[in-house]
Structure 1
Amino acid sequence: MLKSISCEKLIQSSIQFKLGLNAVVGADDAHNSIGKSSVLMLVDFAFGGSDFPTKCDDVIKNVGHIEVVAEFVFDKSYFFMRSTQTPESVYCVEEGRLLTLREFTAFLKEKYLTSASEISFRDCVGGFFRIYQKNNYNHKRPLDLTVREKWEVVRKRLLKMFNMYWTIAQLEQERAAAQKTLKDINGTFNSGAVKQITKVQVSKNDSVIGKLFDEVELIKNSLKRNVTDIRSIINEQSLELKQEKDALVAHKLSLQTQLSRVESNLGNAKVVNSKAFQSVLTFFPEVDSDKLLEVESFHTGITNILKDQLKAEQAVLIEALAAAQSDIAQVDSSLLNLLDSREDSVHLLERLIDLDRHQNDLIQQNRYWALSADAKNEIKKLKADIDLVLENSITEIEQNLNVGVKEVITKIYSNEAISPVLTLGVKDYKFDHGDDRGTGKGFANMIALDLTFLRLTILPSLVHDSLLFKNMDTPAIEHLVEIYSSFSKQIFISIDEVKKYKVSVQKIITESMFLKLDKDRMAFKIKWKNAK
């Protein structure tokens, strides 16, 4: 629990708290601008909130930066010092070192919620510290931490607060793993390492694989006369030799193409006379035959100039072709050595290697199709499981909250009071106030919801500013104060006009009061504005 806060800038430098209700009490004339809300914001700051430096900047502007020492009591007392000048760090007095704000709130989580809890400390309490400056008191959207927060975020926080998220989290981890597997499989397809096929193609592949298997068996039987271990011929060495021969054959074809082109250029180096242009002139009489001869003479001259280079290139290509043919012969010889048999066995070996490679390709295609299909089915199944668990969990939360809210509203008002209905839908939630839509009743409904959370969930504390009570009638506030006082968890409120309540309620407020403020006793000693 938060035991105390100390701040030299406050009218009361040390403030003590206790379990249950804690109240900062305002003036009997409901005078504003005395600092009640700012004090509650300082409580939020002690709990690791980040809003005070920006949303209470008027305080800092008029009294300077605030330094607060917060004492928490769990198994023992823990002291922390925090300043608005360096809000991202917290000084741990016991350890004599600075903590990051994240480390500090992690400490609060461990002590208040346990470190195994699924929700962060600030996510847990942030929406239930309803203070004027935080602007988080829209009674139509009471579950939002920020304005129009996404329902998926709100829903996830709800599940965590009721300790129902762990099952969904486990399923989501499994779905993420399946999605990663599918992504990896698709990456293999996209890289071209394995061809992506359809379900129809899988059946066709199975048929082809069967035929390939039969042909492989026939070749194996043909080779058994000369090879004792058939699989030894389909090893890495033979595959490499086959791939090498394929590359050499392709290289040989390329060289032959180049040689053919060179020899064609050499063979066409002839002088074309004027008679050769007669067919052209017959169809195009306007063409100047002398010009044609000049162009042809130019081409002939160029060819003569390059003739030596073409002949040199021809010689290089012929030599390269001879080398390629020699390399192919060496590969064939190596294959023959593997078989230790006749030359025709080489062709059987090559065919066997091709068949084996093709068969493996088709098997891989089918295997990866099956892996992809399994991953997709797993993702689909996990999504259905997540949706079912989510639906059941949200329905249970909705029912429990509505029952709890109705109980609180009945205590605040009566059995005849209209109770709000919280609906947690697929795409959003709704907090329906029914036909009783006054501002005071709307805030009362929201307070009832907060108190239900305090009772049913791991929520350790809540803060309610006096603005939530402004439009509520006196008897309702009296009943509410009595409800507050029944809780052992810490509740911080600000409240005005205490004397208008019945004596028993005045006593509760007085006993829970940690600070009294009025127009002559302002929270930060001085006044700098006339209205809130």
Structure 2
Amino acid sequence: MPLVESGLMIIRRICFMLVEIWCDKFMDNGKIRPKVKFRSGLNTILGDINASNSIGKTTFLLIVDFAFGGDDYVKSDAARHIHDHTICFGFEFESKRFYFSRTTQTPGEVNCCDEDYTIQNVLALDKYNQLLFEKYQIARNGITFRNIIGRYLRIYGRDNLNETKPLNSVAAESGANAITALLKLFGRYDKFDELLLRRKNTEDDRKALAGAIEFEYIPAAKNKSQYKKTQKQIEILESELSELLEKQDELLSKADLEQADTASAIKAQLAFARRQRSRLLSQLRIVESNLQKQSGLNEDDIDSLRDFFPDANIEHIHRIENFHHQLQNILISEFEEERANLQTLIEGATQEIESMEKRQRALGLPIKLSKAFLDKYSSLNIHIAFLKKQNDSYEKLNEIKEMKRDIVKELEVVEEQELRELQNDINIQMAHLNGFIYDGTRKPPILNLQSTSQYSFETPDDTGTGTSCKSMIVFDLSVLYMTPLPAIAHDSVILKNIGDAPIEKIMELYLKSHKQIFIALDKDDSYSKRTSAILNQTAVLRLSDSGSQLFGRAWNMLDA
């Protein structure tokens, strides 16, 4: 038997459903149809025994999708022929009714209504979909309501009917997006999300540091060879500094050394700040040069042009010059803004330099230190600090690269684990359902999640149309049982390709669901009594030819 939801889940889910749809354009032999009332579980849109086409079965499923926030209905034949009209629909969430309407004229808005469908306020479509996400208590991170339900409302005219790609919301969707949506729906994406965020942050850090090194804002060894060479230089200079200190007068105190260190640090900071200000001043000179440049023709130039070329189109030249002036005004505005920014930065740099110069003057020279010693000591310290900074930056960049490699490896482990577990869970559930349909005599469909960007879906040794359609239904039912997915829909184009015996078992599976399932199918004498009974028992809307189409007429008639 198939896996089903727990008893508590069943009770909770009964209270979350689409309960009705109504439109004053729905007609039955010249009369407006009553509201179409839905139930939990299976809801059938039933055609006639003649399998009449163009009576509105698919159109009504598109309207169900419209109620669930989709937009394919507005592109349908019905929407074009009926012109502007309003679809009204109600939901029940935890025994409380909510009523809405959408018009084909403004499908990007959803009207919140009272029970008589009098408009109370208006929601943007994305806000409405978020409301459904919350009311259905889906509780999944990083995914939208439409990204969940839209994939599983399989209706003719929508681009999600490829039996070999059941994860895709549209045929052109990448495997990565389809698999990501599945992982999120099953609540298995959080580990990926955390690692992907860490990888992004690490890559951002790497780019920032590499960019600072490239533009020489930060000194760094360029490669391992230079790193080793720099390390040797540091050792030589530190040895030289040690010898210098040993030779110095015994009166040299620790306080003197600390004062020398401070003087050395200020000197290095001051040199860096002056270089920065010089760069800013150079940039400012370029901007001011651009502001001083003037281009374009004045009236004297145009008069001279008229003298040399009497037939010249002066009006056209004026239009070109007006365009040039407009463009020049835009550029001048941008240059002035850049000049103001640079002046602010230069002012800040100047204040910083003045502050450090003041600190340098206040520090003075230690009484017991000769100027020659201080100069040599300062020079060695600055050089050592610069070389250490080079190697520190090199080490930091390598550390970030190593962190990224570790994250990538961890991602690979998580990917392997999560994909295998998800794949196995779905395949086990599909095997249960397939076993129920065929009494354990047929191979079940297999989902193979090869990576986070590639997957395959097939029934081994059976590529027939009927089997492929059955397998997609089995997949959808498995996802419906195992996740917060609120509903699925299967159009007749999927169901009619399946044999009579398996279709009866599929109907039995539909009946077992306490979540809503919407199907469209015609009456057929070849169906078993049980199948016919289920179709009649679950029919919420009956359509047929000759005035009982959804809108009371067909568009494919010559007099339509």
Common fold by TM > 0.5: yes
Q: Which amino acid aligns with 1:22?
A: N
Q: Report the equivalent of 1:64.
A: 83
Aligned partners of 1:196 and 1:365 also within 8 Å: yes
1:233·1:349 contact (CA, 8 Å) conserved in 2?
Answer: no
1:129-148 pair list within 5 angstroms: 129-148=153-172
- Are residues 1:187 and 2:211 paired? yes
Q: Secondary structure at the match of 2:429?
A: helix
Q: How far apart, in 1, do the equivalents of 2:78 and 2:176 lie? A: 36
Residue 363 of structure 2 corresponds to residue 363 of structure 1 = no
Assess if the C-alpha contact under 8 Å between 1:226 and 1:340 holds in 2: no
Contact 2:489 2:519 survives alignment (8 Å): yes
Does structure 2 conserve the Cα–Cα contact (< 8 Å) formed by 1:33 and 1:530? no
Is 1:6–2:22 an aligned residue pair?
Answer: yes
SS at match of 2:45: strand
Are the aligned partners of 1:9 and 1:66 in contact in 2 as well (CA < 8 Å)? Answer: yes
CA distance in 1, matches of 2:136, 2:69: 13
Q: In 2, distance between residues paired with 1:101 and 1:456?
A: 28
Show the counterpart of 1:528: 555
Identity score, percent: 29
Cα deviations by residue, 1:337-374 (Å, 9 ceiling, x for unpaired):
933659x9222212222111111112212222222122
Deviations 1:460-490 (CA, angstroms, capped at 9, x unpaired): 1100001112222222211111110110010
What secondary structure does 1:92 align onto? strand
Structure 1 counterpart of 2:425, from 392, 395, 400: 400
2:458 is aligned with 1:432: yes
Partner residue, 2:200: 176
SS at match of 1:68: strand
Pair 1:465-2:481 in alignment: no
State the distance in 1 between where 2:82 and 2:510 align.
33
Distance change (3 Å), C-alpha of 1:226 and 1:246: farther
Q: Is the 8 A contact 1:82 1:90 kept in 2?
A: yes
What's the CA shift string for 1:203-250, capped at 9, x where partnerless? Answer: 4333332332333344445266367623454366666679999999xx
Could you say which residue in structure 2 is the equivalent of 1:112? 136
Paired with 2:271 and 2:413, the residues of 1 have a C-alpha distance of 59
Cα distance in 1 for partners of 2:224, 2:422 equals 43
**Alignment of structure 1 residues 404-483 onto 2, 5 Å:** 404-426=429-451, 428-483=454-509
For residue 261 of structure 1, what is the aligned residue in structure 2? none
Distance 1:124 1:239 in 2: 59
Rate the CA distance shift 1:225–1:148 in 2: closer, same or farther, 3 A: same
What SS does the corresponding residue of 2:157 show, helix, strand or coil? helix
Decide whether aligned partners of structure 1 residues 227 and 43 sit closer, same or farther in structure 2, where only a CA change above 3 A counts. same
Q: Which residue of 1 aligns with 2:303?
A: none
The counterpart of 2:113, out of the listed 93, 105, 108, is 93
Determine the C-alpha separation between the residues in 2 that align with 1:245 and 1:227: 27
Deviation at 1:423, TM superposition (A): 1.6
Aligned residues: 444
Given that 1:131 and 1:464 are in contact with CA atoms closer than 8 Å, whether structure 2 keeps it comes out as yes
Offset at residue 429 of structure 1 (A): 1.5
Asked if 2 retains the 8 angstrom alpha-carbon contact of 1:395 and 1:424, the reply is yes
Change (3 A) 1:36 1:232: same
| CA positional deviation for 1:381 | 0.8
CA contact 2:60–2:550 (8 Å) conserved in 1: yes
Among candidates 92, 103, 118, match of residue 73 of structure 1: 92
Range moving further from structure 2, 19-28 or 509-518:
509-518
Question: Secondary structure at 2:54's aligned position in 1?
Answer: coil
Letter in 1 for 2:555: W
Does the 8 A contact of 2:503 with 2:531 survive in 1? no
- Summarize the Cα distance change of 1:217–1:335 in structure 2 as closer, same or farther, 3 Å threshold: farther
Aligned partners of 1:245 and 1:390: how far apart in 2? Answer: 50
Counterparts in 2 of 1:229 and 1:87: CA distance versus 1, 3 Å? same
In structure 2, the residue matched to 1:348 is: 373
Gaps of 5+ in 2: 1-16, 28-32, 275-356
Moved over 4 A (4+): 235-248, 334-337
Assess if the C-alpha contact under 8 Å between 2:72 and 2:158 holds in 1: yes
Deviation, 1:335, is: 8.5
Distance 1:391 1:241, change over 3 A: closer
CA deviation map 1:173-197 (0-9, x unaligned) = 1112211221221122122122332
Alignment equivalent of 1:211, drawn from 236, 242, 258: 236
How far apart are the structure 1 equivalents of 2:182 and 2:47? 34
Larger deviation: 236-245 or 148-157? Answer: 236-245
Instruction: Quickly say closer, same or farther: Cα 1:362–1:505, change in 2 above 3 A.
Output: same
Report the alpha carbon displacement of residue 62 of structure 1 after superposing the two structures with TM.
1.6
Residues in 2 aligned to 1:376 and 1:351: alpha-carbon distance in whole angstroms: 38
Q: Which of 56, 61, 77 is 1:35 aligned to?
A: 56
CA separation in 2, counterparts of 1:153 and 1:356?
55
Contact map agreement 1:406 1:420 (CA 8 A) in 2: yes
What residue number does 1:18 align with? Answer: 39
Aligned to 1:167: 191
Deviation per residue, 1:389-420 (Å, 9 max, x gap)? 11111111222222222222222233222322
Render the CA deviation track for 1:484-515: whole Å, top value 9, x for unaligned: 01100100000102554333333322221111
Contact 1:238–1:335 (8 Å) recurs in 2: no
Flag the 1:381–1:337 CA change in 2: closer, same or farther, 3 A.
closer
3-state SS, counterpart of residue 364 of structure 2: helix
> 1:503 and 2:503 equivalent?
no
| Matched position secondary structure for 1:423 | strand
Distance change in 2, residues 1:114/1:136 (3 Å): closer
Distance 2:249 2:258 in 1: 12
Q: Is this contact kept in 1: 2:140–2:184, CA < 8 A?
A: no
SS at match of 2:508: helix
How far does residue 24 in structure 1 lie from its aligned partner after superposition?
A: 0.5
The match for 2:103 is: 83
Report the 3-state secondary structure (helix = DSSP H, G, I; strand = E; otherwise coil) of the residue aligned with 1:234. helix
Greater alpha carbon shift after TM alignment, 348-357 vs 406-415: 406-415
Question: 1-side partners of 2:187 and 2:266: how far apart?
Answer: 60
Could you state the TM-score of these two structures normalised by the residue count of structure 1? 0.77
| Alpha-carbon separation, structure 2, partners of 1:478 and 1:510 | 13
CA shift for structure 1 position 458: 2.1
2:542 alignment partner, one of 493, 505, 516: 516
What are the residue-to-residue correspondences of 1:319-334 with 2, within 5 Å? none
Provide the rounded CA distance (Å) in 2 between the counterparts of 1:86 and 1:246. 61
CA distance in 2 between partners of 1:511 and 1:17 (Å) = 12
Gaps of 5+ in 1: 249-330
Letter in 1 for 2:58: S
Task: Return the alpha-carbon distance in structure 2 between the equivalents of residues 508 and 239 of structure 1.
Answer: 87
